[in-house]
Each structure stands twice: as C-alpha cells, then as structure tokens.
Amino acid sequence: MRKYRIMLLLSFWLLLLEFGDFAVVQTKSAAEMSSAQQKEIQAIIQGVTLPPNTTLLVSIHDFETEKNFSYNGTQRLHPASVIKTFYMLAYLEEVKKGTRSLSDVHILTNDDKYGSPGSRIGGSGRLQQAKPGTSYTWGELLELMISISDNVATNLFIADLGKGHLNQQAKRYGLLDTNIVRKIYQRIPGNTHSTANDMNQVLIALYSQEFTADEGYLLAIELMKKSTNKSRIGKYPPEDTIVANKAGTLSSVVGDSALVFFPNRKPIALTIFVVGNDGAGVSRSAGDETIAKLAKEIMRYFLDK
C-alpha cells in the first residue's frame, strides 16, 4: 500500500508539472457558452456524418471559461458503461470519508457472477471466468471496472454502495436526470437512465476534487487514461493531449466520456453518444468513427482557444 501511495503522489506531481494547478470548480450547471461559440460548435457537429437512423448527443464543459455546451444533452438514454465513472466517483468519496478502503479485500463468490438467480453476467470483463474464492482488493476491482469495464466488478460496487445511496449522491453531484434502477443483468422491472449532460457533470464533479482526496482523483484519472477503449474520443487526440475516458456500448448506444487535458490550457469535459432512434441498433464501428471524428474536431477547436 505504501508503494501504491508513492506512485500516486509521483503521478500527482507529474500532472502538476505538465498542466499546472488544478482549479476547484462548481459542480452545479455553469452558464452556457456564447451564442457565437455555440454556432461554431454546432457547425462542427453538423459536419459529421451520422450512421443511419441515429441521433447524436453531445455535452461539453470548458474549464477555461466554466461554460457549457449541450446538443441534445438532456435526452434520456441508458448510458451503458459510461455510468461507471459515476460509481467510481461515489466510491472514492467514501474512501475520502474513511468508510471504505481501496486496500480492503473482497473474496469472489459464484453468486457474484449473476445479476439475478439464473441470469449470469455477460459482456465485458474477466471476473466472469475467475475462480470463486479468489481475493481482490477494492482498488483492483475499481481498476477492472474502469480500465476494462468489468461488469462483475461493477455490480459489486453497486451492491456495496446501494442504489438508494447512489441516487442520493447523483443529486449531490449535480446530476439532474439520472436514476440507478438495477444492476447489470439483474432481472427486475425498469432501466437505469441518464443523459449526456449528467454524464459530463460526473466529470465536472470529479475534476473539482470536492468529493475525492488528491490520491483518489489521481487514481481516477490514471484508470481512465488506462481505459482500453481508445477508438472513440481517444482515437485522434492532438499532439501532447491526454484523454482520460470511459466508453460504453449497448446494441442501441455507442458512447464515450472523457476529461481531455491540453498542454497549454485547462481541460474540457466531453461526452458524446450515438443513439439508435426508437431503440434501433447502432453499428459499433460506425458509432466509433462518428465519435472519433467529432471529438477530433472538438479537441482541435478548444486547443486553439
């Protein structure tokens, strides 16, 4: 644990040297960007070709000006694995409070591999194949949830924190239309929902460091930087630009959410979803490239501001 703390502190000083001091920001909604700037960004968005029968959702926060931009940002959707940044933030706040520890150990059980009896967890991750009785620290589980989007690990965090607590925290973080209804592969009525604006607000709350200790914030950024899916916002970053992201995919949703660190200005929070109309399917490769090309132009735009 001592070695782990030293590595995080070293990462903190490296980030300070590269980007300067981190400013504390408000987690509530900030003012919108100027009408001229909104038109410029809308022109960028309109220049992107969407996959057939889909809608684009975009939310941007510029920490340089503390201004927001939203394009269909209040449209409700299932945010897929992008929501996992919210679970991470909520857990790291408990670590800051001292009610949880990243060094505490969870022993994997066979029941952990099921969302409900008879409903085995599928999708991304590797804990589905792990042997029951294997021990993992909560720090290791956090890395699995964020870096490789492990669904079993995600359910452990939802169960540990509780859906009621998570929904209370969503309000504290400034999320306006997010509701955690069920775990992954849990067979109960209803679906978890959120918006692009709310998923971007998670990044704003994370960057503020109001809810995490310094080490918790740095850990979150490192895990998002290590996230294996760089085929969207992280595909075409400008030179010396760092993308700390968490992607998410369902049959009708392709999304990504990232803190984008530039070399000579404060970062932006950027969330983009391509959503199938009325639940229609979305080609993952087409959604990937749409987000990648749009993010490329948005990052270039703010790099020059």
Q: What are phi and psi of 273, to 5 degrees?
A: -125, 140
Residue 107 is given by DSSP the state: E
- Per the DSSP assignment, residues forming a β-bridge with 114 are 120
Q: What one-letter code names the amino acid at 220? A: A
- Cα–Cα distance for residue pair 151/126, rounded to 1 Å: 9
Give the CATH number for residue 198: 3.40.710.10
How far is the CA of 178 from the CAs of 41, 68, 197, in angstroms? 26, 19, 10
> Is 13 within the bounds of a domain?
no
Q: Is 175 within the bounds of a domain? A: yes
Is position 25 within any domain? yes
Mean pLDDT value of segment 138-162: 99
Let me know: does 192 contact 78? Beta carbons within 8 Å: yes
Q: Is residue 11 part of a domain?
A: no
Residue 101, phi then psi, degrees to nearest 5: -140, 135
Q: What percent of the chain is modeled with pLDDT above 70? A: 90
Give dist(CA 11, CA 221) in Å, integer. Answer: 10
In a domain, residue 149? The reply is yes
255 membership: H or E segment, kind and range: strand 253-261
Tell me whether residue 47 is in a domain.
yes
Q: What are 156-205's pLDDT values in tens digits?
A: 999 999 999 999 999 999 999 999 999 999 999 999 999 999 999 999 99
pLDDT, tens only, 69-78: 999 999 999 9
Cα torsion at 267, 252, 191, 228 (round to 10°)? -50
Q: How far is Cα 22 from Cα 19, in angstroms, rounded to an integer?
A: 8
pLDDT at 34: 87
Residue 261: other Cβ atoms inside 10 A: 21
Give residue 235's domain range.
20-303
State pLDDT tens for residues 235-275: 999 999 999 999 999 999 999 999 999 999 999 999 999 99
Position 121 in a domain? yes
Residue 9 lies in a domain: no
Q: How many domains does the chain have?
A: 1
Burial of 207 (0-12, 13-18, 19+ CB in 10 A): buried
- Go through the chain and tell me how many residues it has: 305
